[in-house]
Amino acid sequence: DVQLVESGGGSVQAGGSLRVSCAYTFTFSKMDCLAWFRQAPGKERKGVAVVVRGGAYKIFGDSVKDRFTISQDSAKQLVHLQMNSLKPEDTGMYYCAAENDAPCTLEERHYTHWGQGTQVTVS
């Protein structure tokens, strides 16, 4: 069983910062890929960032490179997405996703487990 619970969303002005977090629990022996996706109103869900094997490497979407960072705290079973220099186009529902086995990507179809999402609004 896998549970993913997002928190930390909210409203922020453009240029500001926000951190969203995902608390994860799973009964498998490993979970290689922990990712963040976002979905803007009326648009498809898109990958934002993924952390692989506890931080061995990370992948970022082009639109958030140099502004967002992703980190995993394995002891606390948390994945954080730190978002800086936020823009109105970063607005959307942010979802945590997990997949047992690499390769890890930013493609929605590769992920089996999803959280319920947390809303981020940038104005």
Q: What is the pLDDT of residues 65-85, one digit of tens each?
A: 999 999 999 999 999 999 999
For 35, residues 6+ apart whose C-beta sits below 8 A from its C-beta are 47, 48, 49, 50, 51, 96, 97, 98, 99, 104, 106, 111
Residue 102 confidence (pLDDT): 84
Tell me what the mean pLDDT of segment 91-109 comes to.
Answer: 95
Task: Please tell me which residue, 45 or 102, carries the higher pLDDT value.
Answer: 45
Given a cut of 90, whether residue 28 has pLDDT beyond it is no
Given a cut of 90, whether residue 1 has pLDDT beyond it is no
Given a cut of 90, whether residue 27 has pLDDT beyond it is no
